[in-house]
Amino acid sequence: MQFVLLGFSDLPKLQGLLSGVFSIIYLIILIGNCLIIIITKMDSALQKPMYFFLANFSFLEICYVTVTVPRILFNIWTQDRHISIMACGVQMCFFLMLATTESLLLAVMSYDRYVAICNPLLYPVVMNPTKCTHLVTGSWLGGIPVQIGQTFQIFSLDFCNSNRIDHFFCDVPPILNLACGDTSVHELSVYVIVMVVGAVPFVLVLTSYSRIIATIVRLPTAKGRGKAFSTCSSHLLVVILFYGSAAITYFRPKYTHSPGTDKLLSLFYTIVTPMFNPMIYTFRNKDVISALRKILLKK
């Protein structure tokens, strides 16, 4: 009735250091993303679709890391690594739903930049408030039925190999490793779902940015090209970090998986990328920096 999340128990001498590092990272993610949400709400110059999507993305990142990091800290602080099957299933389900939302929202944000740069005259009409709300709502709700079904399918398996999960959270690959018998059908369903909610949005992102880059190159002024590249490069960097690490984890053949490699890759798309996102979106965005400066000067 219980699993054991081994996490980083193979590093007994580093438990204090890990606790401090994860606590600091979690605080950075919370403070950074809350700051972005506050700035985009308070500054009238940022009442644009781009920053509406960015505020939603920041709130998503807070939810996304809260699914995993507090559990990691609890395991380190108490050294009690047991987790019930129900709690494990809930954690996996929320993680998969929020990861799907992130994938879809990144595609929506790339579409927003495509319309803004490639069709600037139509931008206010195409990206009107109603459509922006629909796109965000679809991103938040799109993965719920799929990922609930996938989680239910995985946890309907019998687990007899062991109850020890050599990972720091309940992710799909380590859970499937504990299942009895042939899991090839379940692995295939995981690949199909990842293709639909991960690879398809990624292709849409690449398509959008290929057209964006072609348009930027044709801009008449160096200042215009520089501003467009500055706006888009930060988003593209976030896309590469998220999709790249997740794709390597989920698309690798099962026999190439190792606990150490899986943990390292998972750290990138669960913790490291969300930590850098606020920095990428603020330090590389002059409008956000200007809005932050105005708020600080007022205070």
The amino acid occupying position 182 is: D
Tens of each residue's pLDDT in the chain, 299 residues? 788 888 888 788 888 898 999 999 999 999 989 988 988 888 777 888 988 998 999 999 999 999 999 999 998 898 888 999 999 999 999 999 999 999 999 899 889 988 988 888 899 999 999 999 999 999 999 889 999 999 999 988 888 868 888 888 998 888 888 888 778 888 888 888 888 888 888 888 888 888 888 887 777 766 666 666 666 676 777 778 777 777 777 766 666 666 677 787 788 888 888 888 777 777 666 777 777 777 777 65
The amino acid occupying position 140 is: W
CATH architecture for segment(s) 2-298: Up-down Bundle (1.20)
User: Given this model, what pLDDT does residue 225 score?
Assistant: 65
Nearest to residue 84, comparing CAs of 170, 176, 178, 180?
Answer: 170
User: Given this model, what pLDDT does residue 62 score?
Assistant: 94
**Domain spans, the chain:** 2-298
**Residue 79, beta-bridge partner list:** none
Chain position carrying tokens 């002059």: 286
User: Given this model, what pLDDT does residue 242 score?
Assistant: 78
Burial readout 243-257 (b: 16 or more C-beta within 10 A, e: otherwise) = bebbbebbeeeeeee
User: Given this model, what pLDDT does residue 228 score?
Assistant: 62
Angstrom distance (rounded) from CA 224 to CA 217: 10
User: Given this model, what pLDDT does residue 68 score?
Assistant: 92
Angstrom distance (rounded) from CA 177 to CA 183: 9
- Ramachandran category for residue 79: left, alpha or beta (phi over 0 → left; psi -120 to 50 → alpha): left
**Torsions phi, psi for 149 (to 5 deg):** -65, -40
Nearest to residue 243, comparing CAs of 199, 188, 187, 211?
Answer: 199
Degrees to nearest 5, angle at CA 251 with 140 and 142? 15
User: Strand 164-165 vs strand 2-5: parallel, antiparallel, or unpaired?
Assistant: parallel
